[in-house]
Amino acid sequence: MPDQAPRPAPASESPATSLVRCRWCTDDPLYQRYHDSEWGVPSRDPQHLFEMLILEGFQAGLSWLTVLRKREALRAALLGFDPHALARTDEAWVQDRMQDAAIIRNRLKLRAAGRNARAWLALPDPVGLVWSVVGGRPIIHHYAAPEDAPVAGPEADTLSRLLKRHGFTFVGPTICQSYLQAIGCLMDHTTDCHRHRALAV
């Protein structure tokens, strides 16, 4: 899941809306919109699933809020997260992107975007592969606090092994855990969060 900074309250509450959110969600409006409308919502859109896989890779070593703030700049720099376009990138493209101060400039992550695009396109059914680790349906958890969720559960371990076997990089178990939570394979909004009731169906 996104960053778990210690907070005194059991969940974050927006003064403007009085909505109780997962404790990791700060008062940042961008973070709140992501939490309320995207995180944990089941997605089977291949374009969205690929984008989130790339973004989770870019998060490694950084905060998720940093990634969210640079998401649109990354979208522009990474060719709209189009796997067909990214699959054709080369080292010259990587070097060019390294000059773009608006994005997360990391040579290994930029190379991984191209490599993972090629691996994604080589899969006969990438959506089916991702969802296979949860049996095709979201796993609904009822955690009271974010720290109750494992850093990397068995589903993430399985997905990490599968993706690595198919040539993906930046897909370790911790990254895969965050990925599965983000795309709704694992519904990990805490029980006091207003989104838990909406998604735990």
63-81: per-residue pLDDT in tens?
999 999 999 999 999 999 9
Q: Out of 24, 39, 64, 131, pick the active-site residue.
A: 64
Q: Is the pLDDT of residue 85 over 70?
A: yes
Tell me which H or E stretch contains 187: strand 186-187
Q: Total domain count for the chain?
A: 1
Residue 121 falls within a domain, yes or no? yes
The answer to whether 28 and 12 have CB atoms below 8 angstroms apart is no
Centroid of chain to Cα 27: 20
Mean pLDDT score across all residues of the chain: 93
Residue 23 lies in a domain: no
Tell me whether residue 179 is one of the annotated catalytic residues.
no
Q: Based on the residue annotation, tell me whether 93 is a catalytic residue of this protein.
A: no
- For residue 3, tell me if it sits in a domain: no
Determine the pLDDT at residue 40: 97
Quick check: is 147 catalytic? no
Proportion of the chain above pLDDT 70, given as a percent = 93
Catalytic residue among 24, 39, 51, 56: 56
pTM confidence score = 0.92
Q: Which of 34, 93, 120, 179 is catalytic?
A: 34
**Is the pLDDT reported for residue 194 higher than 80?**
yes
pLDDT tens sequence across 100-109: 999 999 999 9
Domain ranges, residue 159: 46-187
110: in domain = yes
For residue 19, tell me if it sits in a domain: no
For residue 21, give the 3-state DSSP assignment. strand
What string of H, E and C letters represents the secondary structure of 63-99?
Answer: CHHHHHHHHHHHHHHCHHHCHHHHCCCCHHHHHHHCC
Separation of alpha carbons 140 and 9, rounded Å: 24
Domain assignment present for residue 181? The answer is yes
- Domain-embedded: residue 41: no
Domain assignment present for residue 26? The answer is no
Give 7-51 pLDDT, tens digit per residue: 333 445 444 457 999 999 999 999 999 999 999 999 999 999 999
CATH (domain of 96): 1.10.340.30
